[in-house]
Amino acid sequence: MSQYQCISLAQFAQLQQQAIPVQVVDIRQPEVFALGHIPSAINLHQGNVDRFLLEGEYDQPVVVVCYHGISSQSAAQYLVEQGFEQVYSLDGGHDGWAKQQAASPL
């Protein structure tokens, strides 16, 4: 059985620049997701996980995002167990991504 991999913010940026579309899945609560999230991310929660499993692109990379990169690991493993081939957990989570964005010059 395959397993998810942890991915750094730099590796995530590189992955997004490849020709293959990346599915970014944010597992934070919907009300928190609504306050800010990575562009193109979808909010995955109990209410829509079944639809995602039906409609998801199993052969495209999936990056799972949570607050700090801890909870996303178990969600990433779950997606691997459901048949997704290339699954990553984002180290630092949304918090790390947001701090990096704030520190980046425009």
Distance CA 17, CA 49 (A): 26
Distance CA 15, CA 9 (A): 10
Tokens 């999936």 map to which residue?
62
Q: Which position among 38, 66, 80, 87 bears the catalytic label?
A: 66
- Annotated active-site residue 6? The verdict is no
Residue 76: what are its φ and ψ, rounded to 5°? Answer: -65, -45
Beta bridge partners of 42: 25
CA–CA distance from 49 to each of 13, 15, 17, 39 (Å)? 25, 24, 26, 20
**Known catalytic residues?**
66
